[in-house]
Amino acid sequence: MENNIPKIDRYNANYQMMAVKGNDTALTTFKKKYTAAQQHIILALNRVDFTNFNRIDSIVIPDSVWSDINSYSPFPLQIEALDSVPKMVFFAYPIQAFAAYEHGHLVRWGPSSMGSKIHPTKTGLAFTNWKAEEHVSTADDEWLLRWNFNIHNKEGIGWHQYTMPGYPASHSCLRLLENDARWLYDWADEWIVEKNQHVLAEGTPVLVFGTYDYEGMKPWLKLAEDPKANEIAEKDLLNELKPNLEKIAEEQHKREQVIASQQDSVGQGS
């Protein structure tokens, strides 16, 4: 397990604001000043993709753009309460971001565009179930969702790659940049079901929490005034976790039993 935990050096310097709206040379300047890898980091910090770059007012840029986006994580690097939990995913509504943990250690974080004010994402504890590399949305058959991993089967809510406009704009799903969607697609566990679709064990626990201030300043832009403006303390995540730890442990135990039983069956049949 320890070999999978990345070494993360925390960024502790400042940020600056760059105006985009009304600046005809903003994109040209941005591309000229920063490498492709640095551009990706900056856009991720602003919850936006290149398609939507010219549609936003401003972006926030670190004074020093490091190569590892984990260095800019607003999430704690470790959560002791999750030491015995193999995998856990958080989606933080207030800062539009996700974090993935293995045994309480942060392994990846990234931006998200969650449910809009009209179509909010359901908060609370869920578990990953089925996944598909490409899935046509049940809300609109013109929406092709890539690297889709469902977390609410009946409601059709999950995470997937889709356009990132720099604010919560989805139809209740959890939008991601493609590299994050694909990584989570490969990393998280599907549920275990019988042929009749009876659920034997749930997948990876996912906790969606908090609320977004749709009328206020985008929270990441506040980094220009306070580099720690978006940080979520371990104690704050623990407050969200506490009511759910028993259920997480229960489902984890059930999954371990199902897997062990299946392995015994295979062994006896060989």
Q: Are residues 62 and 101 in the same domain?
A: no
pLDDT recorded at residue 43: 97
Number of folded domains that form the chain: 2
Q: Are residues 196 and 86 in the same domain?
A: yes
Last residue of one domain, picked from the residues 41, 70, 99: 70
Residue 245 forms part of a structural domain: yes
Q: Are residues 203 and 162 in the same domain?
A: yes
Q: Are residues 13 and 57 in the same domain?
A: yes
Main-chain phi, psi angles of 202, to 5 degrees: -80, 170
pLDDT at 209 exceeding the cut of 90? yes
User: Do the Cβ atoms of 68 and 8 come closer than 8 Å?
Assistant: yes
Residue of 152, 173, 198, 253 with catalytic role: 173
Q: What would the pLDDT profile of 59-117 be if each residue is shown by its tens digit?
A: 999 999 999 999 999 999 999 999 999 999 999 999 999 999 999 999 999 999 999 99
pLDDT recorded at residue 195: 78
pLDDT recorded at residue 165: 96
Rounded mean pLDDT of the chain?
92
Residue 136 forms part of a structural domain: yes
What's the gap between Cα 249 and its chain centre? Answer: 22
Q: Are residues 186 and 121 in the same domain?
A: yes
Q: Are residues 190 and 241 in the same domain?
A: yes
pLDDT recorded at residue 270: 55
pLDDT recorded at residue 30: 94
Judge whether 160 counts as a catalytic residue: yes
Residue 120 forms part of a structural domain: yes
Q: Are residues 14 and 99 in the same domain?
A: no
Residue 223 forms part of a structural domain: no
pLDDT at 211 exceeding the cut of 70? yes
Between CA 134 and CA 173 the distance in angstroms is: 15
Residue of 40, 103, 135, 160 with catalytic role: 160
For residue 90, what are the contacts with CB-CB under 8 A and spacing of at least 6? 75, 98, 99, 101, 206, 207, 208, 209, 237, 240
Q: What would the pLDDT profile of 232-256 be if each residue is shown by its tens digit?
A: 999 999 999 999 999 999 999 999 9
End-to-end CA distance of the chain: 29
- The CATH number of the domain where 210 resides is what? 2.40.440.10
Percentage of residues in the chain having pLDDT higher than 70: 93
Q: Are residues 58 and 148 in the same domain?
A: no
Q: Are residues 172 and 245 in the same domain?
A: yes
Q: What would the pLDDT profile of 113-165 be if each residue is shown by its tens digit?
A: 999 999 999 999 999 999 998 766 555 555 577 899 999 988 779 999 999 99
Q: Which residues pair with 209 in a beta bridge?
A: 92
Please give the residue range of the domain that contains residue 54: 2-70
